[in-house]
Amino acid sequence: MSVESITPYNSGERKREQITQAFDVIAHRYDRLNRILSFGIDSGWRRRALRLLVQDQPPPERVLDVATGTADFAILAARRLPRAHITGIDLSAGMLAAGRAKIERAKLCDRIDLVHGDCLELPFADGSFDAVTVAFGVRNFENIVAELAEMRRVLAPGGRVVILELSQPERMPMRALFRLYLRGVMPLLGRLFSGHVQEYRYLPASIEQVPQGQVMLDLLCAAGFDACHSTCYTFGICSCYTGKNHETPEVS
């Protein structure tokens, strides 16, 4: 079974429709639950990933944050990259509404734009961005290779992609402990703090099936990226993948 076939609800709808519904439902509590479920360490993962955007190259000035959710990564990028303009895109109108409220409180409305849209059909011209980021969103993609290729299309030659995604540790006993947390603790905490059961059953199931390690690097290469590299954080609970677009995107 692939992550693309795992959906929040047992219905006949496409994954994108089910994902949209699921995140609309939990949007108002998403940030709080994220901090609880990750014990707050997800913020450190985002900071480390952002440092990779400026590694061995000038800081990007046009950044696209795919599956931006409530704009956590977009806000952090705006603060860490003072010359950059950030565009976030997401399927969930509920998540974007929460993100816009956060951006307004952070006084970053002039630096961050949020767009309602689908990564399968990004509403941007070829080569529009210097960097593309995804934080914990690949597991929600309906067609990973196609959506990665679409991200590459809007990335300027020489631009970099940075992807953060939860992953399963390879070594024992951490692998067994993390699996216990995914299957037992995470759904329980999700139900207790949100009151929503199905959405927080989907989350651990998607984490167990999302491509990781060399498999994810192979998908990046298949989408047209090169110089692909992966780094593990916190005993392999989180992985960061990077790649570059050295070629001019093809005109469709």
CATH of residue 23: 3.40.50.150
CB 114 within 8 A of CB 77: no
Q: Is residue 50 part of a domain?
A: yes
pLDDT at 196: 66
> Strand order in 112-116's β-sheet?
112-116, 85-90, 62-66, 129-135, 155-166, 238-245, 226-233
pLDDT at 187: 80
Question: What pTM was estimated for this model as a whole?
Answer: 0.93
Q: Which of 34, 6, 33 is nearest to 135 (CA)?
A: 34
CB 16 within 8 A of CB 119: no
Q: Is residue 204 part of a domain?
A: no
Q: Is residue 194 part of a domain?
A: no
Q: Is residue 202 part of a domain?
A: no
Q: Tell me which residue range forms the domain holding 67.
A: 3-165+210-245
Alpha carbon of 69 to those of 1, 94, 188: distances in Å?
Answer: 26, 9, 23
Q: Which residues of the chain have pLDDT under 50?
A: 249-252
Q: Is residue 173 part of a domain?
A: no
Domain count along the chain: 1
Q: Is residue 142 part of a domain?
A: yes
pLDDT at 195: 66
Which tens digit of pLDDT belongs to each residue from 207-231?
999 999 999 999 999 999 999 999 9
- Asked if residue 157 has a cis previous peptide bond (ω within 30° of 0), the answer is no
Q: Is residue 48 part of a domain?
A: yes
pLDDT at 249: 45
Which tens digit of pLDDT belongs to each residue from 28-45?
888 887 787 788 899 999
Count Cβ atoms within 10 A of the Cβ of residue 32 and give its class: 0-12 exposed, 13-18 middle, 19 or more buried. Answer: exposed
Q: Is residue 222 part of a domain?
A: yes
Which tens digit of pLDDT belongs to each residue from 47-69?
999 999 888 788 999 999 999 99
